[in-house]
A and B are shown apart, each in its own frame.
Chain A
Amino acid sequence: MCISAEAVVIPRRLPGDLAMWLFMLAELSVFALLIAAFAVTQTLTPQLFADSRQLLDTSTGLAMTLSLLSAGLLAALAQQRVRQAQAGQALGLLLLALLAACGYLGLKLAEYQHLLSLGLGLEYNTFFTLYWILTGFHFLHVLLGMVILAWLAAGCRRRRYGPGNCSGFESGVLYWHMVDLIWVVLFPLVYVLA
């Protein structure tokens, strides 16, 4: 028996809902504008940006990166379990993802508190204005991402998701990955580049 090449080609599939992808595209566009504003302003006042960046702790930034990426891995693993009809394991992984995200939350809040105690608020200088807008906007996205992960965990507990019904779950997990995607660009821009 001969099977043609067309018969075994797996069609390309967009995970999640199209509406979520369009929403993410809008979010990524907004962040692109903010990042572009940061980059352009940096060209105009390079010394101010270099000096201000010294006031941020790179190792804290790295720890936040690792927290977010670990939450992303755990959410992706939970998605695999949902597809394999193992909602119980998916629930456990999502709770771990939330725990990892709490690591970011704690570090970021401590950093904000530290900067405010030094008087480095929104109006201190151009760098910190853009720092607070960029990281604050991202912080709000992390909070929303955590609400979504908690919602997905509650859905797993009620056995709402399964192999034939995981599009909503995929959309929720995709949102978290978008938060990670934005952060991996923000991290070097805000904390690292000299």
Chain B
Amino acid sequence: MAASTFLLRCWLALVMLSIATVLLAQGRASAWAILLLAVLKAWLITDGFMELRHGPQRWRGLLLAWAAVLALLVGISLSLRS
């Protein structure tokens, strides 16, 4: 697949996930579902736009973990209050 096509597909997926985030919130979906979409978007940016899918595994792991850990923290904090 051409690099430009791949980038366009990443962007399209990011747009769809962003719209889905708002729709899920309007449908009173679980916070975990919304956070999962945020993590997927962060991973698309990391692997697609930042090209870490071809990068060293440690750097890739670090950036993928950044979004996942934060989402987990936010999710747990929301669970604690309810």
Contacts and interface: CB of A to CB of B under 8 A. Distances in A.
Interface of A: 10, 12-15, 21, 25, 28, 32, 35-36, 39-40, 42-43, 46, 58-59, 62, 65-66, 69-70, 72-73, 76-77, 80, 174, 177-178, 180-181, 184-185, 187-189, 192-194
B25 A192 contact: yes
A33 to B, nearest CB: 10
Contact of A187 (B7, B11, B31, B38): B38
Contacts of A13: 54-55
A194 B18 contact: no
Max chain B CB contacts within 10 Å: which of A13, A43, A59, A192?
A192
A177 B73 contact: no
Interface of B: 3-4, 7-8, 10-11, 14-15, 18-19, 21-22, 25, 28, 31, 34-35, 37-38, 41-42, 45-46, 48-51, 54-57, 59, 62-63, 66-67, 69-71, 73-74, 77-78, 80-82
A38 B42 CA distance: 19
Contacts of A10: 54
Given A39-B77, A65-B18, A80-B3, A185 B67 contact: yes
